[in-house]
Amino acid sequence: MKGVLVMVGTHLTIKEIEEQYPEQWVGLTDVEWDSQNDASILSANVKYTGLAKY
């Protein structure tokens, strides 16, 4: 697919994901959720990245 980079299970913290893939859509697997806030992600595997969000 054009504009999509497929990754192979790179487990990163949410901060690392935001730094490495700024303003991009990312597909995540094996998400570790914050036990204090179910809406917050602590870490995940990056499955793919896509086109810029903006």
Per-residue pLDDT tens for 29-44?
Answer: 999 999 998 789 999 9
What residue numbers bound the domain in which 33 lies?
A: 5-52
Position 6 pLDDT exceeds 70 = no
> Any idea which residue has 């094996």 for tokens?
30
Per-residue model confidence as pLDDT tens digits over 21-31? 888 888 999 99
Across all residues in the chain, what is the average pLDDT? 83
What total of structural domains would you count in the chain? 1
What pLDDT was estimated at residue 39?
A: 85
Cα separation values, 29 from 32, 34, 49, 52, 54, Å? 9, 15, 12, 20, 23
Q: What is the pTM of this model?
A: 0.73
Those residues with Cβ within 8 angstroms of residue 3's Cβ, 6 or more apart along the chain or in another chain:
50, 51
Q: Which amino acid is at 50?
A: G
